[in-house]
A and B are shown apart, each in its own frame.
Chain A
Amino acid sequence: DSGVTQTPKHLITATGQRVTLRCSPRSGDLSVYWYQQSLDQGLQFLIQYYNGEERAKGNILERFSAQQFPDLHSELNLSSLELGDSALYFCASTRGGSLTDTQYFGPGTRLTVL
């Protein structure tokens, strides 16, 4: 158990809908990273937050957004869902959000878009 929690574990929805994925970092960690794992793209970095502020952005679609709240949990919002958004979404947390930190991953949320 990494100490990172993600809810829900599974999510099934329809095209065009909007969903929210939640991540709680390990105790004491200030930074959260979001990744998407799909069959065609593999594991891809989406976005990073540190202590409530966006720090780095990867290949995140404009239909996707995220935020980190004062209690340090983070939410990833996916809207206007398409079939291709079906994937496993991971969050990871670190203490300082820097190169020297090891990222510990949550169990993931499996999103299925029908």
Chain B
Amino acid sequence: AQKVTQAQTEISVVEKEDVTLDCVYETRDTTYYLFWYKQPPSGELVFLIRRNSFDEQNEISGRYSWNFQKSTSSFNFTITASQVVDSAVYFCALSEANDSWGKLQFGAGTQVVVTP
């Protein structure tokens, strides 16, 4: 069963608009980590942010912010004032304590297209 769901397949925005990417996860563990990775057209996977299950404080880092809500099992990610360089596929991933060696379970990804 899919443990990480990214329902948005593609989001298209015009530069300077905000983009929010949805991620819903499923786990029975009380200890887990959530991640966002970016895959630009060049293909590499770039780590963006991570959150552990005990820290629901939402933060902002530059143009990135995230909203972690355990009550709804969601870990949404927002890019503020999008730029063309933000065009990429964004993956949400889960790492669970019952698999303590840290393997990542990825969602299907959301393609973000930012046009000038």
Chain A residues proximal to chain B, CB less than 8 Å: 2, 31, 33, 35, 42-45, 48, 50, 55-56, 58, 88, 90, 92, 94, 97-108, 110
| Tally of contacts, chain A with chain B, CB under 8 A | 73
| Category for how many chain B residues contact A | 20 to 34
Quick one: closest B residue to A44, CB to CB? B106
Main secondary structure of the interface of A (DSSP, over half): strand
How many angstroms between the C-alpha atoms of A107 and B43 in the bound complex? 7
With A99-B101, A101-B102 as contacts: A43 and B91 at CB distance below 8 Å: yes
- Closest chain A residue, CB of each to CB of B100: A99
- Please encode chain B, from 31 to 56, with 1 for each CB lying within 8 Å of some chain A CB and 0 for all others: 11101010000011111001010000
B binding-site residues for A, Cβ under 8 Å: 31-33, 35, 37, 43-47, 50, 52, 91, 93, 95-97, 99-109
Give bound CA distance, A101 to B47, whole Å.
Answer: 12
Query: Which residues on the B side are within 8 Å of A105 (C-beta)?
Result: 37, 44-47
Residues of B within 8 A of A43 (CB): 91, 93, 104, 106, 109
**B35 partner, pick from A102, A108, A110, beta carbons under 8 A:** A102
Closest to A104 in B: B47
